[in-house]
A and B are shown apart, each in its own frame.
Chain A
Amino acid sequence: DGGITQSPKYLFRKEGQNVTLSCEQNLNHDAMYWYRQDPGQGLRLIYYSQIVNDFQKGDIAEGYSVSREKKESFPLTVTSAQKNPTAFYLCASRSGTGGLNTEAFFGQGTRLTVV
């Protein structure tokens, strides 16, 4: 079955550590996105990528980094520079170059907690 797989489902990080969240899709989608979800704030865009080897900052990119070396993979690293990383992280993808009329498909999310 085609879809988006995020791992792990739960992740705990000590302060000062970098952690990487995995996102893999087998939908053959060009565009991929990372969102952060906090209670009462909806989804905020962290980074997005329209094609391989290219990505752009979203609205809240500070303290995060990404790579897009393969079409199917778009990992997100939460660095120690992110002062409040505890949140639910969602990865999404869209077909083509992510045109306005295409829906986004979402993974099941990763809940990151700083301990």
Chain B
Amino acid sequence: AQSVTQPDIHITVSEGASLELRCNYSYGATPYLFWYVQSPGQGLQLLLKYFSGDTLVQGIKGFEAEFKRSQSSFNLRKPSVHWSDAAEYFCAVGASSYNTDKLIFGTGTRLQVFP
């Protein structure tokens, strides 16, 4: 079955430190992968996406993610975290089921940033 796992429920980092949020997926075909960010009480905003080609993709707000097929992973990284990055982050995979395309989301990772 198609699924997305985000093993870290909550991560705390200091401002200026590097960040890596983990995402593992389970999908039989070539995955279409996304990272979204959600500020409290708000909708989701797309950070970046991977479809094919270069396995390192760049997104908005200085984020990047690396697709590793051998590890079924799509981890999100940022070299230096800012206080405004505190939010919840969701990894998602585009999945096809019964001729319908939909997004399957992980359970999210809440990022807290200390000054």
**Chain A 92-106 against B: per-residue CB contact (8 Å), 1 yes, 0 no?**
101001111111111
Q: Is the CB of A106 within 8 A of B43?
A: yes
Ranked 9 nearest A-B pairs via Cβ: A106-B43, A100-B94, A42-B107, A43-B105, A106-B44, A100-B32, A42-B105, A108-B43, A98-B101
**Chain B 78-109 against A: per-residue CB contact (8 Å), 1 yes, 0 no?**
00000000000010001110001111011110
What band does the interface of chain B fall in when counting residues whose beta carbon is under 8 Å from A? 20 to 34
User: What is B's interface to A at a CB cutoff of 8 Å?
Assistant: 9, 32, 34, 36, 41-46, 49, 51, 90, 94-96, 100-103, 105-108
Q: Is the CB of A43 within 8 A of B90?
A: yes
B107: contacting residue among A6, A40, A48, A58, CB under 8 A: A40
Q: Is A25 an interface residue (CB 8 A)?
A: no
Q: Is A28 an interface residue (CB 8 A)?
A: no
Enumerate 8 A-B pairs (CB-CB under 8 Å) in ascending A order. Answer: A6-B43, A56-B100, A90-B44, A100-B96, A101-B94, A104-B46, A106-B44, A108-B43
Q: Is the CB of A109 within 8 A of B94?
A: no
Chain A residues with CB under 8 A of B34: 103
What band does the interface of chain A fall in when counting residues whose beta carbon is under 8 Å from B? 20 to 34
Interface of B: prevailing SS: strand
Q: Is A64 an interface residue (CB 8 A)?
A: no
CA distance A109 to B105 in the complex (A): 16
Q: Is the CB of B102 within 8 A of A107?
A: no
Chain B residues with CB under 8 A of A35: 105
Q: Is the CB of B90 within 8 A of A42?
A: yes
CA distance A50 to B36 in the complex (A): 22
Which residues of A42-80 have CB atoms within 8 Å of chain B's CB atoms?
42-43, 45, 48, 50, 56, 58
Q: Is A111 an interface residue (CB 8 A)?
A: yes
Given A4-B43, A94-B101, A102-B94, 4 more A-B residue pairs with CB atoms under 8 Å apart are A31-B101, A56-B100, A97-B101, A98-B101
